[in-house]
Structure 1
Amino acid sequence: MRTIDSRELADLTAAAAERPRRRLNINLHQDAADSVQRMVIAFEPETYIRPHRHPAQFETFILLRGRGTLLSFADDGRVETLVELAEDRVRVVEIPPGTWHSLVSRAEGTLVVEVKPGPYQPTAEADFAAWAPPEGHKDTDRCRDWMAQCTIGERYTHRA
């Protein structure tokens, strides 16, 4: 049986805040080959998660602490859905297979549980949104900040 206590969550949050990517996870699954991938993720407001999709997999997020926004996008990058995750609002969201999406942290110390079918497969380049900058690009902060304040129907314009 695997348990995670408050101290371990506090350590995870502190470590995520020190990482360059501003996020870190604890795997609950034993191995990348497991049929279900389960992890607790700490992610800070400064993290950038490039919009992407999982063509044949659902993905579920369960908010443990903090606040975030789950965004879904049309193929052309228009915002289709904004789901505000908060302790007094939506706590669980499941993303259907093939849905372009990203997640933005809105509070320090935000923690989510992510569940999706395994085995783990790195996201193929074709499944990252071409209209959004790759991680580490000079435009990632601009895209992240846009995702934090955009509205339904808007589209991000990437500077190459």
Structure 2
Amino acid sequence: MTGVRVLSNEVLVATTGVVRVTAADAAEVVRRGTSSERKRARLCAHPAATDPLHEMLICLARGTYIRPHRHSGKSESFHVIEGELDVVLFDDGGTVRDVIRMGPYPSGRTFFYRLAEPTYHTVLVTTPHVLFHETTSGPFDPAGSEFAPWSPAEGEPAADEYLAALRTTIGHPAGAVA
């Protein structure tokens, strides 16, 4: 990849004013995401965490745990390029209130979604990996995400159990491909 700064195995940042992503670049994000310990990688099209608009090409591998969280005063949108995922929306007590089954345009599933309310949500990858374009408001501030108090933190042993139970609740047993 040219015009990219490597921040870690999981984070690449475009360094040019005109960002072009080729199929080879996308394949590199997928390679990094499927081989990373946390089962994820991203190519940031915005050059800095302080930018008011954040656009990222993200790969999540099946089994990655994104702790349920919500954002106040921010919106986010996903456009699926390849693979499938479920966006799970919760009420404040942790009960599933909706599942948005997403895939690329030809799949017939929802291929684009936007969340503009402070709702607890997570994603579950239902194929070996998913590649999607995410857009959200900046600047990035880790304190801007409120983690659901009823969900385990990433890295806790209970996270795997929670993920498996959530998959079963929404109809995707662990390891199953949609």
Asked if these proteins are the same fold (TM beyond 0.5), I'd say yes
Given the alignment, which residue of 86, 92, 113 partners 2:103? 86
Residue matched to 1:142: 161
Are 2:122 and 1:105 aligned?
A: no
Q: Could you list the per-position Cα deviations for residues 16-42 of structure 1 after superposition, in whole angstroms to 9, with x for gaps in the alignment?
A: 111111001000111111111110110
Mapping of residues 106-145 of structure 1, within 5 Å: 106-123=126-143, 127-145=146-164
1:44 aligns with 2:61: yes
> Which amino acid in structure 1 is aligned with residue 110 of structure 2?
V
Q: TM-score, normalised by structure 2?
A: 0.81
Structure-2 residue corresponding to 1:10: 27
Match of 1:77 among 94, 117, 120: 94
Q: What is the one-letter code of the residue matched to 1:56?
A: G
Aligned residues: 151
SS in 2 for 1:147: helix
For 1:99 and 1:43, the matched residues in 2 are separated by 21
Q: Provide the rounded CA distance (Å) in 2 between the counterparts of 1:138 and 1:81.
A: 26
**Where does the alignment leave 5 or more consecutive residues of structure 1 unmatched?**
153-160
Amino acid at match of 2:126: R
**In 2, Cα distance between equivalents of 1:124 and 1:31:** 17
Quote the offset at 1:76 in angstroms: 0.2
Give the distance between the partners of 2:27 and 2:129, measured in 1 at CA.
8
> Which structure exhibits the higher relative contact order, with contacts defined as CA atoms closer than 8 Å and separated by 6 or more residues?
1
Would you say the 8 A contact 1:54–1:123 is kept in 2?
A: no
Normalised TM-score (structure 1): 0.89
Give the root-mean-square deviation of aligned CA atoms: 1.5
Moved over 3 A (4+): none
Whether the 8 Å contact between 1:69 and 1:148 is mirrored in structure 2 is no
For residue 149 of structure 1, report the CA deviation from its aligned partner.
Answer: 2.9
Per-residue Cα deviation, 1:53-105 (whole angstroms, up to 9, x for no partner) = 00111111110110000000000000001000012110001112311100111
Would the aligned equivalents of 1:16 and 1:24 in 2 still touch at CA under 8 Å? yes
| CA–CA distance in structure 1, aligned partners of residues 166 and 69 of structure 2 | 13
Asked if the contact 2:85/2:103 (under 8 Å) is kept, the reply is yes
Structure 2 residues not aligned, in runs of 5+: 1-17, 172-178
The Cα shift of 1:124 comes to 5.1
8 Å contact kept, 1:63–1:86: yes
Q: Percent identity?
A: 25
